[in-house]
Structure 1
Amino acid sequence: MQKYLKYIIPISIPLIVLLLPLSAFPFDGLTIIQQRVIAIFLLAALCWVFEPIPIYATSVVIIVLELLLVSNKGIYLFRLSEGQPHFGELLKYNEIMATFASPIIMLFLGGFFLAMAATKYRLDVNLARVLLKPFGSDPKFVMLGLMLITGIFSMFMSNTATTAMMLSILTPVIAVFGPKDPGRVAFALCIPVAANIGGIGTPIGTPPNAIALKYLVGDNYISFGEWMAFGVPFVVVMMALAWMLISFLYSADQKKIELSIKGKFLKTPKAIMVYVTFALTIILWLMGSSHGMNSYTVALIPVAIFSLTGIINKEDLKKISWDVLWLVSGGIALGLALDKTGLARLVVHSIPFDAFSPYAVLFGAAFLCLIMANFMSHTATANLLMPIMAALGTSMASLTPLGGEITLILVVTFAASLGMSLPISTPPNALAHATGHVQSSQMAKVGVVLGIVGVLLSFALVWLLHAVGHVG
């Protein structure tokens, strides 16, 4: 019976919500359309938690259900009472479908093309080889070098792909440590920790960042370079803390190791094209909109160049993480429904948040996100919380002195990426745990400390940037 619960619960609860009368809900003025969105939201949340189907499939189901139940081109029977009191506004079908081609999706697609080309032409491995040379043979400093390189790569590549690459480079090195040497734990653990932290540094580093950008528009708009202006310092400080913590907890007995990475930079025309395009794209991203293009437009430049030159061919296209793109698009569609139907605002206005201290709201939201992110996908967590946080930030006047909506969104986004206490928390954690060198308790010891410290640090950073006028 227990194994069927993960199917029964996600289906039964949304169905019950659909069948309830509007008077059963604690919200004044709830419409039929909003009731349907509540059911879709609960279905998404429960499917992302229990995973009866793959999490990317849940996103596709969200979009299809929105098209069928709450769009102006949905099933006719579900639109019979259109125009009646308490029915609500139907969403435009083309706006729901457009989530598959949202600018956020294009930003990620550009990032995937860059990462794939870098791996295909060994730019990532060769950069690692060159950049690790200055760190010598002391295990403590070699680990620092590995963490910095992993963090840099994960800003522009998938955290999972970065972890897989760095762990494969490390395999012969870890074998040098004795079976009881804590250095094994330190080296295997430092890679996923650095990848999880490093992804915070850029808008394309991890899906929660891209989801946050969807809500940072208008007066709250943050460019690629502006994100890095606060993201990179946060990453540097967190990386230093993580290095000191891991070094303290799992200090290596062996005093000297040799890190041997073979290879050299390719000098073929296509390889040179990859190097130039990679550098050009990053430079254009860092220049913000001073050249007239936003980060979404710039992201499609490598897509065009690599497709035109054959650097990325049709076989490579099959290897793109389409599941991640679908997952993000489902979150955008969910946010669209919560926003356009007015449900997010209705829920937020129904709770007297203004009666609470703005600090209590910020801390509560961040730590709720941190806890959720430890037990479910970071992207799914951000997808669920971000539209509600955006509505809360807009409506809560007492948050304005602290930066308002932008502060709330940023601290919750950072918290989503800091959930890394368990092997199931992130794919990088799972990869490290699969090596057999890291136990769950060892991962939790580091992950819990870094999660709590990271959330507190994000408050301090965003408050400081708001105080000097860079955000909010």
Structure 2
Amino acid sequence: MTKISITTVLRLLVAFGIPLLVLAMPTSALPIEGLTIIQHRLLAIFILAALLWVLEPVPVFATSILIIVLQLILLSDNGLTFLRPSGEHETLLSYTDILNAFSSPIIILFMGGFALAIAASRYELDNNLARVLLKPFGTQPRYIMLGLMLITAVFSMFMSNTATTVMMLALLGPIVASVPKGDTGIKALVLCIPIAANTGGIATPIGTPPNAIALQYLQGEHAITFGGWMMMGLPFVIVQLAFAWWLLQKLFPTTMDKIELNLEGKFQKSWQAIVVYITFAITILLWMTSSFHGMNVYVVSVIPLAAFTLTGIMGKEELKLINWDVLWLVAGGIAIGMALGKTGLAEALAHSIDYATLSPIVVVITLSIVCWLMANFMSNTATANLLVPIAAAVAASMESLASMGGLTGVLVVVAFSASLGMILPVSTPPNSLAYSTGLIESKDMAKTGVIIGVVGLLIVYAAALIIT
């Protein structure tokens, strides 16, 4: 029989005790005024999810399933009848919206990515790509990690960071196979990919959705060109990646002086291997050129699934290799983000601060921190959609914000902050994919993500003050 440690029991008590305390409090006693009963319950579920994901007394995918179950019972229009509030301001969630988290487009994107990774490994495409792309970076672990980060960041500037992570994690297999088990350097190699993917997109207007959302509000005299954005974003990305590269070496040092990669080999020439090569290339190309052909990354992700199953490259046994626990994990993150938006709790949290009473620099920092905190627990796109309009309204109404770059400065800071939220496996798809390798723990991601996030915010603030 498996024994439950005292530490696990304490973590469970903390994780469930605090949300129960919040739930037991009357709404009027909470620091956020005017919460409905549904929002009150969701706040307790949100706190529970955050604690369970960080403390990890139970598997993170189990936490995600628990979130969905609690939402269905306590918040949905098909939950327990006697628990449904009847006030005119109460907004019950549709049970289908909650269950749709399991069939979200992002889930399909992950399945397409897993299909590519499984097929690439089966026909040694991952080994051959590693041989071609990483050979210039030598055999020292820190330079191999630098190579992974640079390649990932550059791809993320122009295509989906999720798609980029799928491709780069395929290169990681042969590298990890060359590292002794138990060497903490493996964690650095795994974590460097989602960090570079999350960070790289900041450099261009099309690299990540928060950038595009901010640009919608930067029109006329405030308009920023593609090159103008890169002049701000690219230096930040370079500095941030350099810091992350150094930090990962310090947090997860390796005992190896060099990694002897098997960089010899040839591309297989069977018809199945050729199908894999062509499908892999077409998928990546379509991901990179979605603005030309009109299919977004989610639609394109179905192509490898169809190609590999129809040709027999992926059969029943290969389908079982898909990381279903990660899909459950991601579904929980999608469900909590959807609920925060549809119940109005996210907006209530964002508006709970009276920005008019704050000094210009405190306003910018407060908006940025709120954005960063929320982006760690819900989609950075959803966070930007919520906070960018608020930031734009605040910037337009406060002339004193001219000293912080006005509308342009405020929105750029908020957009950058949204992309720095990466402390949990559910924070971003690249984090979830990296976690799916089984080579890192949630606490490794949290420790690294907090440090990189805080340092990134400080760099953004310093740059904003210097430029303005």
Given that residues 150 and 198 in structure 1 are in contact (C-alpha distance below 8 angstroms), is that contact kept between their aligned partners in structure 2? Answer: yes
Where does the alignment leave 5 or more consecutive residues of structure 2 unmatched? 1-5, 156-161, 202-206, 218-225, 397-406, 426-431
CA distance in 2, matches of 1:258, 1:165: 10
**Residue aligned with 1:157, SS:** helix
CA distance in 2, matches of 1:245, 1:218: 32
Partner of residue 199 from structure 1, selected from 192, 197, 200: 197
* TM-score of the pair, normalised by structure 2: 0.70
Given that residues 19 and 44 in structure 2 are in contact (C-alpha distance below 8 angstroms), is that contact kept between their aligned partners in structure 1? Answer: yes
- Are residue 382 (structure 1) and residue 377 (structure 2) matched? yes
Structure 2 equivalent of residue 27 of structure 1: 32
How many residues are treated as equivalent by the alignment? 417
How do 1:146-185 and structure 2 match up within 5 A?
Answer: 148=150, 155-157=164-166, 163=172, 165-169=174-178
**Residue aligned with 1:72, SS:** coil
CA RMSD of aligned residues (A): 5.0
Deviations 1:387-444 (A, max 9, x none): 666533332323571376785354233342699xxxxx985999599xxxxxx9xxx9
Where does the alignment leave 5 or more consecutive residues of structure 1 unmatched? 173-183, 204-208, 221-225, 374-378, 420-424, 434-439, 468-472
Change over 3 Å in CA distance of 1:460–1:74 after alignment to 2 = same
How do 1:53-132 and structure 2 match up within 5 A?
Answer: 53-79=58-84, 81-82=85-86, 84-85=87-88, 88-132=90-134
Structure 2 equivalent of residue 412 of structure 1: 418
Structure 2 equivalent of residue 393 of structure 1: 388
Structure 2 equivalent of residue 5 of structure 1: 10
Higher mean alpha-carbon deviation, 270-279 vs 243-252, is at: 243-252
CA distance in 1, matches of 2:349, 2:320: 41
CA distance in 2, matches of 1:320, 1:340: 31
Change over 3 Å in CA distance of 1:232–1:389 after alignment to 2 = closer
- Aligned-residue sequence identity (percent) comes to 42
Given that residues 39 and 345 in structure 2 are in contact (C-alpha distance below 8 angstroms), is that contact kept between their aligned partners in structure 1? Answer: yes
Structure 2 equivalent of residue 45 of structure 1: 50
Deviations 1:424-471 (A, max 9, x none): x985999599xxxxxx9xxx9x999866654456679999xxx9xxxx
Structure 1 equivalent of residue 282 of structure 2: 280
CA distance in 2, matches of 1:66, 1:248: 40
Shift of 1:218: 12
Structure 2 equivalent of residue 271 of structure 1: 273
Shift of 1:136: 5.9
Partner of residue 325 from structure 2, selected from 319, 323, 326: 323
Shift of 1:126: 0.8
Change over 3 Å in CA distance of 1:321–1:219 after alignment to 2 = farther
Shift of 1:301: 1.2
CA distance in 1, matches of 2:326, 2:147: 29
CA distance in 2, matches of 1:233, 1:246: 20
CA distance in 1, matches of 2:56, 2:174: 27
How do 1:228-243 and structure 2 match up within 5 A?
Answer: 238-239=240-241
Structure 2 equivalent of residue 15 of structure 1: 20
Change over 3 Å in CA distance of 1:167–1:399 after alignment to 2 = farther
Change over 3 Å in CA distance of 1:356–1:387 after alignment to 2 = farther
**Residue aligned with 1:416, SS:** coil
**Residue aligned with 1:96, SS:** helix
CA distance in 1, matches of 2:250, 2:40: 52
